[in-house]
Copies of this chain bind each other. A is one copy, B any other.
Amino acid sequence: MKQWLEEKLLQLNVTEYMDEEYGFTRLSYTEEEKQAHEAFKKAAEELSLDVVQDEAGNVWARWKAAQEDAPTIAIGSHLDTVSGGGGYDGAAGVLTGLAAVKQLKDKGFQPTKNIDVVCFASEESARFGVSTIGSKATAGMMDKGELGSVEDADGVTVKEAVESYGLSWESIDQAEKSPDEIERFLELHIEQGTQIEDNGAEIGIVRGVACPVRLQVTVKGMANHTGTTPMNNRSDAFVAAAPIITYVEEQARKRNGVQPTPIVATTSTVKLSPNVMNVIPGEVQLGIDIRSVDDELKRNLAEEIRSYCKTIEASKDVKVDLHTLVDNDSVHLDSSIQEQLQEITEKIGYRVHPMDSGAGHDVMNMATRWPSGLIFIPCRDGISHHPKEYASIEDLNKGTNVLAAYIESIASDHQ
């Protein structure tokens, strides 16, 4: 199985070597994503699965149950990446889904339910700033009107990208599946953190997915000549904004000390205007990303940041506006699936760490319509969205064993 995992990992990444210096770039609805999907189709067909691409570009590979009207268990993730990302984020879930099927087929297992391995389209927000487009379509969560006109950095809209991918924008929302078409959904993903190892475990079983609160802070001062404007006569937006960056980090750090649920907050983007050497910054825009499974905790921090911005406005000669870009409730995954997964994983002999996910995944959307579970495997140093992203074949194999055992437990006659 390990050799098969190694081979298919390369195939799904359309590469001969996993340690590509610049990583992998397979942005949403591009030729590169399509090539990875073609590799997935090929690998699925080698396992004699029935492959169909739906209206959103998601590819479904079915291992049919003997019985015609059997329920369906779906397992999957995605194959698109960020720009210069790794070959495991998404790929690990698709690969281990196929591998679990292979393992069960190899041992002569006959499922009493259809097993669908799905490769969702366009999970990463790197191209359009919008994530999980494929699984949103499946779960009936797509806002077509708003989405169609969203542009990438080159001004190409989602609609245009979808159509040049060979799909019809007109019918993209027909990818939606009704509640009775799927019984439950499972995703396996690399952790993108180090909690599993830090807690001496091998597999993470996820309780909830922390959806972000995202803030946009705009500080308006006055642009002026750097050489001719005395220090005591300035309204420098960047100087006013700098303590906000420090505050966000300090406050998030402090809160982790005093209560049990983790919270993270990051000033991750900046736009300076005019951003030229001889002009005092007249305007700064900061993007702040706050995450915790505890929605009250993250909203409380957002409020504290808002108050702090008011303090800055009152003490410096600037105007500060705070705008909430995103504020979604966190997703709590099905507790009985968590229990089953934990039991099965421990039965195999792997140490389990129950945890939350700080990153969003396709399972967030699937969980709004179907009971769902999320399994994490470790990745080296927690690095992801980076060429150095890495998960061992050993860990991919462990993930495969968990998925296979879980399928066996719920899709067999002895159930």
Nearest to A278 among chain B residues (CB) is B289
Q: Is A277 an interface residue (CB 8 A)?
A: yes
- Among the 9-residue stretches A108-116, A219-227, A303-311, A390-398, the one with 4 or more Cβ atoms under 8 Å from chain B is A219-227
Alpha-carbon distance between A246 and B242 when the two chains are bound, in angstroms: 7
Alpha-carbon distance between A238 and B272 when the two chains are bound, in angstroms: 14
Q: Is A87 an interface residue (CB 8 A)?
A: no
* A279-338 contacts to B (CB < 8 Å): 279-281, 287, 289, 291
Is B252's CB under 8 angstroms from A231's CB? yes
Our pick among B125, B253, B359 for the contact of A228 (Cβ within 8 Å) is B359
Nearest to A383 among chain B residues (CB) is B224
Nearest to A214 among chain B residues (CB) is B277
Nearest to A269 among chain B residues (CB) is B275
Our pick among B83, B256, B277, B357 for the contact of A287 (Cβ within 8 Å) is B277
Alpha-carbon distance between A223 and B126 when the two chains are bound, in angstroms: 14
Q: Is A178 an interface residue (CB 8 A)?
A: no
Is B270's CB under 8 angstroms from A238's CB? yes
Is A231's CB under 8 angstroms from B214's CB? no
Interface size on A, residues (CB 8 A): 66
Q: Is A276 an interface residue (CB 8 A)?
A: yes
Q: Is A373 an interface residue (CB 8 A)?
A: no
A275–chain B nearest beta-carbon distance, Å:
5
Is B264's CB under 8 angstroms from A281's CB? no
Is A264's CB under 8 angstroms from B359's CB? no
Is A358's CB under 8 angstroms from B225's CB? yes
Q: Which residues of A contact B (CB under 8 A)?
A: 82-83, 125-126, 129, 191-195, 210, 212, 214, 222-233, 236, 238-239, 242-243, 245-246, 249, 252-253, 256, 262-270, 272, 274-281, 287, 289, 291, 357-360, 382-386
Q: A191-B228, A227-B264, A268-B281 are in contact. List 14 more A-B contacts (CB 8 A).
A: A222-B383, A224-B385, A225-B359, A225-B384, A227-B289, A227-B360, A228-B358, A230-B262, A231-B264, A239-B245, A239-B246, A268-B278, A277-B287, A278-B385
